[in-house]
A and B are shown apart, each in its own frame.
Chain A
Amino acid sequence: SQTIHQWPATLVQPVGSPLSLECTVEGTSNPNLYWYRQAAGRGLQLLFYSVGIGQISSEVPQNLSASRPQDRQFILSSKKLLLSDSGFYLCAWSAALVNEQFFGPGTRLTVL
Chain B
Amino acid sequence: AQRVTQPEKLLSVFKGAPVELKCNYSYSGSPELFWYVQYSRQRLQLLLRHISRESIKGFTADLNKGETSFHLKKPFAQEEDSAMYYCALSGRRGSTLGRLYFGRGTQLTVWP
Query: Which positions in A face B, CB cutoff 8 Å?
Result: 32, 34, 36, 41-46, 49, 51, 90, 94, 96-106
Contact = CB atoms under 8 A, between A and B. Distances in A.
Interface residues of B, number: 20
A46 B46 contact: no
Interface of B: 6, 9, 32, 34, 43-46, 49, 86, 90, 97-105
A96 B34 CA distance: 18
B98 A32 contact: yes
B111 to A, nearest CB: 22
Contacts of B34: 99-100
B43 A105 contact: yes
A99 B105 contact: no
B46 to A, nearest CB: 6
Given A104-B43, A106-B43, 16 more contacts: A42-B104, A43-B102, A43-B103, A43-B105, A44-B44, A46-B102, A49-B99, A90-B44, A94-B98, A99-B32, A99-B34, A99-B90, A99-B97, A100-B49, A101-B46, A105-B43
A100 B43 CA distance: 15
A6 B19 CA distance: 34
A46 B99 contact: yes
